[in-house]
Structure 1
């Protein structure tokens, strides 16, 4: 009877060894995935052309490479906007104290939903009350409308007793965008607090 060649199982052993080695290699070299935010993959954001507090033209792409902490509101807001902006600023300050290197990569932005009244000067006076790096942005009615549409932000003017006493009903939330401009996470207005903002920044900003 012909003898079975010795070592005939060697190719199988080698194959299994390569599979195991490849698997271990994938575990070693697989890029680390960051935490997933509640806005991951959402179609929110995009290029805009607005004016900052100094009257300079600013685009969304100007902030490339920075994490962007964004709030949409207006300076004449009687209650919600000042409170939310204070939460944003206090949370950022706490994060700056705990992790100054990472916090330096965060640019806070306040984008108005009321361009008729929110001039660059009005925005500067408002933002200076909260954080030295908070940058206000405004523009024409058309530019703000286009920005609100791109960022999926609802805003509607509610007429008051006089021409200038109107309010603006709008969606209140604090947004975080990645250095490439992609949406990462948001905190709904009712859930906003300095602690929530600091926790969001600590979780995602690297």
Structure 2
């Protein structure tokens, strides 16, 4: 049921996506508790989120999802020209991961943060390299062809749409604002509260990463 719900989410406007994902976080843990003493299960367990991809990293190297096999992943979609939320979210994710590394280095070392652009026309590897370096030394920036980004966004139930050109030639990109925590097999586990404090992110990471 969770998988079907996420499939439908991909077709909805951003504000509806956020509300639907928030509702899923509330419902899924309740469904997972089948009886007294039942262990908590990741709220996104079984959801149809994620899949194979072939993209280009910030060093200009072609990279696939298999490069992260065996690692937990924080997956966030955004773009470097974003005037507000993307830099804030990337900063919070980076600081949240640093907090985990400080309190439990072994857990922190298991996690790779990924920043996947929804604006491949402007987000070249060079631009991404400068951007992700501001937030965490192990953050990986990923770009690719428009077709490759579109396919990857669909795998992760991410909505995005290029806005109208401004008189100066710039444009905004409307997109889903979510940060997925994926397990070492690339399966979805939970949403991280990237719009909250780094401490809240660290707490949620330590809840699921073992």
What is the deviation of 1:115?
0.3
Moved beyond 4 Å, runs of 4+: none
Q: Secondary structure at the match of 1:39?
A: coil
Q: Secondary structure at the match of 1:102?
A: helix
1:198/1:145 Cα in 2 relative to 1: closer, same or farther (>3 Å)? same
**Which residue number corresponds to residue 101 of structure 1?**
106
Q: Secondary structure at the match of 2:115?
A: strand
Q: Is the CA contact 2:78–2:175 (under 8 Å) kept in the aligned structure 1? A: yes
TM-score, structure 2 normalization: 0.79
- Which deviates more from structure 2 when the two are superposed, residues 160-169 or residues 85-94? 160-169
**Which residue number corresponds to residue 30 of structure 1?**
none
Aligned partners of 2:167, 2:41: CA distance in 1, in Å?
Answer: 46
Q: Secondary structure at the match of 2:67?
A: helix
Higher Cα radius of gyration: 1
Mapped pair 1:202 → 2:206: yes
Mapped pair 1:183 → 2:194: no
Aligned partners of 1:140, 1:146: CA distance in 2, in Å?
Answer: 10
1:163/1:114 Cα in 2 relative to 1: closer, same or farther (>3 Å)? farther
TM-score, structure 1 normalization: 0.80
1:89/1:81 Cα in 2 relative to 1: closer, same or farther (>3 Å)? same
Q: Is the CA contact 1:109–1:137 (under 8 Å) kept in the aligned structure 2? A: yes
Gaps of 5+ in 2: 1-37
Aligned partners of 2:110, 2:63: CA distance in 1, in Å?
Answer: 18
What is the deviation of 1:163?
6.9
**Which residue number corresponds to residue 148 of structure 1?**
153
What is the deviation of 1:159?
1.2
Aligned partners of 1:177, 1:98: CA distance in 2, in Å?
Answer: 21
Gaps of 5+ in 1: 1-32
Count of paired positions: 173
Q: Is the CA contact 1:67–1:205 (under 8 Å) kept in the aligned structure 2? A: yes
Mapped pair 1:85 → 2:90: yes
Mapped pair 1:135 → 2:115: no
Indicate the RMSD between aligned Cα atoms, in angstroms: 1.5
